[in-house]
């Protein structure tokens, strides 16, 4: 059943006297008024001498519910894989104009013969046509696209004709990939980066609201059109909740060639915390736009054990030639943490921290007084001769605590000529440390039992 199909139900008094050709012509001539078509067919049967019950019911299919996941396997049995196509050929009413570059599929710039709109036609790779898991993922790409309605996600073309071949037709985005945009704009401003990241986050949120994960977010899968609108493309690696058992989505680790943007947990084969993968990839793209490099280089793909991932060193995004606020660096460091539980809990939190500084980050990035106000530091008498400030700095540096001197032995009388005579001091508590002086040297010794 397809959109646009028409079903006609009639009693014996109608179809025994009215031929199929008359009814088909009547429906085609007045498709907008099916009630009038039914009356015309009944009148024609009566005119031809029918004396039986005359009843006609016509139903047209305007829309269909979303295809269930279990129907994907059924589509594989009914749709043929198209051959290698060339320009000026047609495939199910779509004329091909030129072939585009693609990694694991054949992509063509084409024009719909009915609407005249430019579309992108994607067909399965001939080298992988014998791989059932690959074909199921290929069908899943269109299934995902038809369920997402977002201005920042590539839209599929409406299917109005009977399909004979297996392909995916999507809208044509006139623009460039984010990878090409970064080549043309090697040093974008922070505000420009924020605008791009916010649009990508809105597209990812459209996936997450439907319990889907893109899992292959990278500059080549992000398009920027002529108006500056950012759109996410390529849903072949998308993971849908509850469909892992019904659809063989294959290796969830994605394409090995795109490893630098993948979350470190992908290389450990972890199933938990998948929702943090898209956040990590978005943070990598943000870092790349601000610095022109990757936060961990190629070390992420090499760290395939927990101990190796703990040794990953985050390289600061701050650079002398770029005007980036210092509080941006801890925001990216948190979003790019190898441990997913140490990252932001939501995309909105990450986007908000890029726009407004978090108080916790400001506290971490606040430099000491000697760096912020050197003159005030030295004028404050901290190291004034004779003021005791230098000794206090030593105590603060080494974590020492000063306490007045105590008697070495219990119940010993200590003579103090300055106070006018002997006085008795309280005995030290056994086991506690006390401070002893030896000239100008300060040391801590345990008290005798």
At 358 the pLDDT is 77
Give the domain ranges of the chain. Answer: 6-60, 68-172, 176-356, 403-446
CATH number of 68-172: 3.30.200.20
First vs last C-alpha separation in the chain: 95
CATH number of 176-356: 1.10.510.10
Q: What is the pLDDT of residue 271?
A: 46
Residue 183 in 3-state DSSP?
helix
Per the prediction, the chain carries an average pLDDT of 77
- The pLDDT tens digits of the residues spanning 203-241 come to 999 999 998 999 899 999 999 999 999 999 999 888 888
| Percent of the chain at pLDDT exceeding 90 | 25
Structural tokens at position 146: 């038809």
Q: What is the per-residue pLDDT for 342?
A: 87
Q: Report yes or no on whether pTM surpasses 0.95.
A: no
Q: Is residue 230 packed enough to be buried (19+ CB in 10 Å), middle (13-18) or exposed (0-12)?
A: buried
pLDDT in tens, 337-394: 888 888 898 999 999 999 988 777 766 655 666 666 677 767 765 555 555 555 555 5
State both tokens at 10: 């009639």
Query: Which carries the bigger pLDDT value, residue 449 or residue 30?
Result: 30
Yes or no: say if 447 and 432 are a contact pair by the CB < 8 Å rule. yes
pLDDT at residue 118 is higher than 50: yes
- The CA distance from 8 to 79, in Å, is 27
Contacts 24+ apart (CB under 8 A), 360-364: 361/327, 361/330, 361/331, 362/327, 364/330
The pLDDT of residue 93 is: 83
What residues form DSSP beta bridges with 178?
A: none
- Residue 65, phi-psi category: left (phi > 0), alpha (psi -120 to 50), beta (remainder): beta
Q: What pLDDT was estimated at residue 285?
A: 95
Cα distance between residue 149 and residue 154, in whole Å? 9
User: Is the Cβ–Cβ distance between 137 and 250 less than 8 Å?
Assistant: yes
């Amino acid at each position: 059943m397809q959109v646009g199909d028409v079903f006609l139900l009639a009693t014996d008094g109608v179809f025994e006297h009215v031929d199929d050709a008359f009814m088909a012509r009547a429906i085609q001539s007045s498709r907008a008024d099916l009630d009038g078509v039914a009356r015309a067919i009944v009148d024609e049967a009566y005119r031809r001498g029918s004396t039986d019950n005359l009843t006609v019911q016509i139903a047209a299919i305007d829309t269909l519910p979303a295809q269930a996941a279990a129907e994907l396997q059924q589509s594989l049995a009914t749709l043929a894989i198209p051959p290698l196509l060339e320009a000026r050929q047609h495939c199910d009413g779509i004329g091909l104009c030129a072939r585009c570059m693609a990694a694991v599929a054949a992509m063509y710039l084409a024009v719909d013969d009915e609407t005249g709109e430019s579309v992108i036609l994607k067909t399965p790779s001939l080298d992988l046509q014998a791989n059932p898991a690959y074909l199921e993922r290929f069908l899943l790409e269109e299934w995902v696209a038809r369920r997402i309605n977002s201005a920042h996600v590539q839209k599929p073309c409406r299917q109005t004709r009977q399909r004979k071949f297996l392909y995916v037709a999507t809208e044509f985005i006139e623009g460039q990939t984010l990878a090409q945009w970064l080549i043309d704009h090697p040093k974008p401003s922070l505000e420009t980066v924020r605008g791009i990241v916010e649009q990508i986050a809105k597209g990812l949120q459209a996936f997450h609201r439907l319990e889907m994960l893109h899992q292959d977010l990278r500059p080549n899968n992000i398009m920027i059109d002529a108006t500056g609108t950012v759109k996410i493309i390529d849903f072949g690696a998308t993971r849908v909740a509850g469909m892992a058992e019904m659809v063989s989505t294959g290796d969830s680790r994605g394409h090995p060639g795109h490893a630098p943007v993948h979350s470190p947990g992908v290389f450990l084969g972890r199933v938990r915390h998948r929702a943090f993968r898209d956040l990590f990839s978005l943070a990598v793209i943000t870092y790349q736009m601000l610095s022109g490099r990757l936060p961990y280089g190629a070390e992420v793909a090499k760290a395939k054990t927990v101990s190796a991932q703990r040794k990953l060193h985050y390289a600061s995004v701050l650079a002398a030639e770029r005007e980036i606020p210092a509080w941006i660096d801890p925001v990216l460091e948190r979003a790019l943490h190898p441990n997913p539980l140490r990252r932001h809990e939501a995309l909105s939190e990450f986007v908000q921290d890029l726009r407004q500084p978090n108080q916790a980050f400001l506290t971490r990035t606040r430099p000491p007084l000697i760096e912020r106000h050197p003159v005030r530091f030295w004028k404050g008498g901290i190291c004034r001769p004779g003021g005791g400030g230098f000794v206090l700095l030593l105590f603060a540096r080494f974590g020492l605590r000063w306490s007045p001197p105590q008697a070495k032995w219990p119940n010993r009388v200590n003579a103090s000529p300055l106070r006018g005579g002997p006085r008795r001091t309280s005995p030290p508590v056994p086991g506690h440390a006390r401070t002893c002086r030896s000239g100008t040297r300060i040391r801590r010794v345990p008290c005798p039992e």
